Amino acid sequence: YHNDLFCLTGTRLAPKEKLDIPVLYMPDTMKICEAVVVIHVMRENGENWPYEDSAELNKDFKSVILGENGGLQEILWIYPVRGIPEAVQQKLVPAVIRCQARQRVERRVEVPLTGVIPGATSTPARGNSAKVNASSPANIQDKIQDTDGLSTAVEFMYELQYQSNEIKSQLESLVDMHLVERKHDTESGIVTLIFNTVFAPNKPMRNEATLVVQCTTGGVWKFPVLFIAMEPELDDVINIEAVGLNKESLVDFKLTSQTR
């Protein structure tokens, strides 16, 4: 966060009035930053708010400041803020996974992570967001942890995100992606993650997903992946032989369901 302290002093607020407080975040490394925004409120006349049980308040209670003569001198609102940097990657070419419908293909996908901090302390990301905007990814499929040239263990989490719930319902059961290997270039600092991807489509389709990778020390990377399922092979050829003009010809053939 910005090194300069931003302080509002003597700001008078009317009842139900809103106060906007700007918070500037300019990350220079792929590392999570944490800060706390604290709002102090006191009465304009300088008097304390009367509070009968102020003497019994816990000393560790950080949301109020007690006055010397009893009552509440200040009330505090405390807002924790977490900054998670996201790598900006212009016009990435999607990794294409192509397969014929009703077939199965297995491919390896490599993604480079720039700006990973060597020797950073691995601290699990807190929070309950699934939006990758403020915490670890939702529906974490897998994670890998090893030293691999780093002075301390660095852990990565990942998931596939889809453009809509409809696309997710189509692809979720057809795609499997697992992290199998990690390479670390000590000179450039680039960490390359290698994913084993299985695609087994049941019908022709063309859908795009986003591979989201997050490091527990901070940083989010996003990579597009395009899944293409082509027309399946013909099951058989049905020949109908005419028995004469203006006469119907019939042929029987069996269909077997692949599911129950």
Position 57 in a domain: yes
Same domain? For 66 and 160 the reply is no
- The predicted structure's pLDDT at residue 132: 32
Q: Are residues 102 and 204 in the same domain?
A: yes
Cβ atoms 152, 185 nearer than 8 A: no
Please report where in the chains the tokens 């009367």 appear, as a residue: 50
Tally of domains in the chain: 2
pLDDT at residue 58 in the model: 60
Least confident of 17-21, 127-131, 132-136: 127-131
Mean pLDDT over the full length of the chain: 79
Q: 164 in a domain, yes or no? A: yes
Q: Taking residues 177-184, report their average pLDDT.
A: 90
238 assigned to some structural domain: no
Between CA 140 and CA 136 the distance in angstroms is 8
Q: Per-residue pLDDT tens for 56-72?
A: 666 666 777 777 777 78
Per-residue model confidence (pLDDT) at position 142: 44
- Residue 119 — very low, low, confident or very high, per pLDDT cuts 50/70/90? very low
174 and 77 share one domain:
no
The CA-atom distances, in angstroms, between 196 and each of 75, 108, 137, 202, 223 are 54, 5, 19, 20, 15
- Residues 6 or more apart in contact with residue 197 via CB below 8 angstroms: 97, 106, 107, 108, 109, 175, 176, 177, 225
High-pLDDT (> 90) share of the chain, %: 35
Answer yes or no: do 97 and 185 share one domain: yes
Domain assignment of residue 145, yes or no: no
Looking at the predicted structure, is the pLDDT value of residue 141 above 60? no
Residue 246 lies in a domain: no
- Kindly state whether residues 27 and 99 are assigned to the same domain: no
Residues 112 and 196 in one domain: yes
How confident is the model over 214-245, as pLDDT tens digits?
Answer: 888 778 999 999 999 999 999 889 999 998 89
Q: Judge if 56 and 164 occupy the same domain.
A: no
- Higher model confidence: residue 66 or residue 133? 66
pTM of the model: 0.65
Of 28-37, 80-89, 110-119, the least confident:
110-119
In a domain, 148, yes or no: no
Give me the mean pLDDT over the 246-257 stretch.
90
Pair (104, 177) in one structural domain: yes
Do 101 and 59 share a domain, yes or no?
A: no
Let me know whether 187 and 81 are in one domain: no
C-alpha 98/C-alpha 199 separation (Å) is: 8
Q: Which domain holds residue 221?
A: 87-118+154-232
Flag the least confident range among 79-88, 94-103, 201-210. 79-88
Instruction: Work out the average pLDDT over 195-221.
Output: 91
Helices assigned H by DSSP within the chain:
165-171
Same domain assignment for residues 41 and 160: no
Which of 44-48, 130-134, 139-143 tops mean pLDDT? 44-48
The pLDDT value given to residue 20: 86
Cα–Cα distance, 193 to 66 (Å, whole number): 53
Alpha-carbon distance of 215 to 24, in angstroms, equals 22
CATH number (domain holding residue 182): 2.60.40.2310
Q: What is the mean pLDDT of the segment spanning 101-122?
A: 78
Q: Which DSSP string do the residues of 16-34 spell out, in sequence order?
A: T-----------SSS--EE
Same domain as 208, residue 190: yes
